[in-house]
Every structure is written in C-alpha cells, then in structure tokens.
Amino acid sequence: MSVARFEVLHRDASGFARRGRLQLPHGVVETPVFMPVGTQATVKSLTPADLTDDIKASIILGNTYHLMLRPGADLVEKMGGLHRFMAWEKPILTDSGGFQVWSLGDLRKIEEHGVRFRSHIDGAEIFLGPKQSMHIQRQLGSDIVMAFDECTPYPASVDEANASMQMSMRWAAECRMHLPVNNHQALFGIVQGGMYPDLRLESLDAVAAIDFEGIAIGGLSVGEPKEEMLAMLDALAPHLPADKPHYVMGVGTPDDLIEGVDRGIDMFDCVMPTRNARNGTLFTDNGKLNIKNLCHAEDEQPIMEGCSCYTCTHFSRAYLRHLYMAKEILSSRLNTLHNLHYYCDLMQRARTALEDGNWPEFRDQFLQRYRDDA
C-alpha cells in the first residue's frame, strides 16, 4: 500500500477545483496547499515554530541541489535526516535537483544518465542523475521525493521539447526503479513537454502509466507569458488522474495559485513570497505593495487590514519601512512572515470556499480585486 493516501473531499461542480487531503508519514496536508520553500534546511529567516504556529504551513519544500552541496546529504543523514536536522516535524517535499543543475547553464553538461556539473560553492565536479537523486533524497528522508527530470528550456522547438521530454520519461521510470513503492517515502512523477500540448499529454500518459504517488507539472513559470501557462494547465486538467494529488512546480503569484486551483491543481511552491519579502515587496488582496515607498513613511496601517499574521497584528507600515531602510534583519523576518501567512491563508480561504460550495464566487471576487502589477 502506498505511503501517500490521497482523498478528494469536495469538488467544484462547475470545473476542476477540488478540496483534498493527503496523508504522509509526517502528517496530514489539507489541499489545495502552498508549500514554503526551505532551500538550505531553513525557510529563510523563520523558525519551525513560526511556520507551524503563525503561518500554519503543513508541508515545506527542501532543495536537494543545495543540501547535497552544503552541508551534504551524508551529514544530514548522520544527523537523523532533514526533519530532525532542521527540527521540522511535519511533511517535507524535496525536489530532485534537476531544475537547479539545469539552471547552471554553461556550468553543466547533460548526459544520458544525468547531469555533470560544477558546484557553485567550491567548483567540485559532481554527477547527478535519477539514481543519485533518489539516493540523496532517501538520505534526506523527505516525505515526498520528486523524480529527476530535465526542465525544457523556453522557448524550445518541438523537436528539442520532445527529446527533452522523452529523456525525462526514461529518467522517471529509472527513478521509480531506484525508489520502489515503500512505506517511508512517496515519489511524484513530473510531466514535461514544453509549450506543446500534444507532448504534454504524451508525457502525462507516460507518467500516469508509472505507479507514482502524485503527478507534478514541471517546466512552467520559466519565462512564458501567463496566458500560455494557463492554457497548458487547461489542456492538462481534464486528463490528470483524479485519484492522485496534482502539483504544479515553482508557481506562482497569488492569482496564479487561484487559477491553478481552478484547473485542478492541489499543490504549489514558489520562492516568490519569501524572496519578495526580503526585497520589501508584500502581498495583499489588492496586489503587491513596496514597503520602501515614501508613502508608507508615516503610515500607521498594517500591511493588510484584517490580516491575522504576527506582523500585521503588531506593526505599522511605517515601522516596517523603517526596518527596511535601516537594513535590519527583522525586516526580512517580519515581511517573510506576512507573505507566507498570506499565501498559506489564501489556500485556506480556497479550501473553505470549496467546502462551502462557493468556489466560483470566491475565485471571481479574488481575481477581480487582485492586481499583480499593482
């Protein structure tokens, strides 16, 4: 029996949106869910207590590439695994490292069994493929392991996209071989195929044919226009296996999340709320605000009226602007707390709307109000 039990609790009658529950070794994840990114065994600036108590995160993401280089998977394993090392007791999803090594550009060379690259830290030559990625993710001990794949560049010709996708599919099968269904870790396959719907559907068939515990969609949010990304999710939505969780990788803005849920996506991750926080960009239902702006200098309002996060219930925009201008560490922390709270709470609001049967109203009201270019 699979380690990841997924059930759909509610469906929106008018479309693909659904409210689900995913049971994993370290706990239950209510979906749709946003997963904060904890690249180097820490969600930047936050403690596990912040993530559980204030943000109500139920699952976080760890980066295999970063962890294998520093502190090293052997060390993490020796310290009892990633959960114990970083004192996070709830589920963890680890990516495969594929996207990060692909992002190295000229510093890496793709071969049939994986990617040869140089560490950005000390220049050491390293080989990472399906076999190695599965081994490392076992050492890390995550609840959800991601298959090792190649992210198809954007733009790419149909031939390039096809060759890349075919290799990812061979690698997907190899990953399942190296990490058979077991009681400790779930394995998610990843759909590729660039911006070509036919390739995407072929890839989905290949992934669905393997006994993965979840289906991910990779290679989106890599520079393509938002309409193209949504069109791809539209093309896939009717074909995603209904009994498995659907995860779109590295997406996105708050409105992307709502659009994704509407297309049957259950899981999201993105560095945007954390990275933007450190740059002073904060999310609200009306869109983004830049805390650096002079208009906030004497503003006694919280970032977002009605927000229940620690930052909004204690501090004014004036104070947050001061911390940012004074380059205080607390600036990153309070901003990150708010942005992640906003993202996770948005998914809670989506879950409630789905439970209450008013998803279409919630979605439309949200998208009408939210302006990503604000």
Enzyme catalytic residues? 95, 269
Applying CB under 8 A, the span of 126-134, 202-210, 262-270, 319-327 interacting with a copy of itself comes to 319-327
Q: Which of residues 60-119 bind a copy of itself (CB under 8 A)?
A: 70-71, 75, 78-79, 85-87
Interaction of residue 212 with a copy of itself, rule CB under 8 A: no
Residue 42 near a copy of itself by CB under 8 A: yes
Query: Binder to a copy of itself among 21, 25, 26, 40 (CB under 8 A)?
Result: 40
Among 18, 19, 244, 333, binds a copy of itself (CB under 8 A): 333
Residue 48 interacts with a copy of itself (CB under 8 A): yes or no? yes
1, 13, 124, 326: which one binds a copy of itself (CB under 8 A) = 326
Q: Is 369 in the site for a copy of itself (CB under 8 A)?
A: no
Among 101, 334, 346, 347, binds a copy of itself (CB under 8 A): 334
Q: For a copy of itself, which stretch binds (CB under 8 A), given 195-203, 236-244, 314-322, 364-372?
A: 314-322
> What would the two tokens of residue 12 be?
């929106």
> Cβ of 300: how many Cβ atoms within 10 Å?
8
Q: Based on the shown chain and the rule CB under 8 A, indicate whether residue 132 belongs to the binding site for a copy of itself.
A: no
Q: Which residue in the set 2, 23, 47, 348 belongs to the binding site for a copy of itself (CB under 8 A)?
A: 47
Asked whether 197 and 226 are in contact (CB, 8 A), the reply is: no
Structure-block tokens of residue 54: 């204030």
CB–CB of 27/61 below 8 Å?
no
Instruction: Pick between residue 166 and residue 316 the one whose CB is nearest to a copy of itself.
Output: 316
Beta sheet of 27-31, edge-to-edge order: 5-11, 18-24, 27-31
Nearer of residues 317 and 351 to a copy of itself, judged by Cβ: 317
Stretch that binds a copy of itself, among 218-226, 256-264, 283-291, 318-326 (CB under 8 A): 318-326
Shortest gap between Cβ of 74 and a copy of itself (angstroms)?
Answer: 10
297 binding a copy of itself? (CB under 8 A): yes
Q: What is the total count of residues that contact a copy of itself (CB under 8 A)? A: 37
* Smallest gap from residue 294 Cβ to a copy of itself (A): 12
Residue from 160, 228, 328, 361 touching a copy of itself (CB under 8 A): that is: 328
Figure out which of the listed residues 10, 44, 108, 116 binds a copy of itself, where binding follows CB under 8 A.
44
- Peptide bond just before 180 cis, omega within 30 deg: no
User: Using the rule CB under 8 A, is 57 a contact of a copy of itself?
Assistant: no
Position among 181, 201, 271, 318 found at the interface with a copy of itself (CB under 8 A): 318
Binding residues for a copy of itself, per CB under 8 A?
40-42, 44-49, 70-71, 75, 78-79, 85-87, 297-298, 300, 310, 314-316, 318-319, 321-323, 325-326, 328-330, 332-334
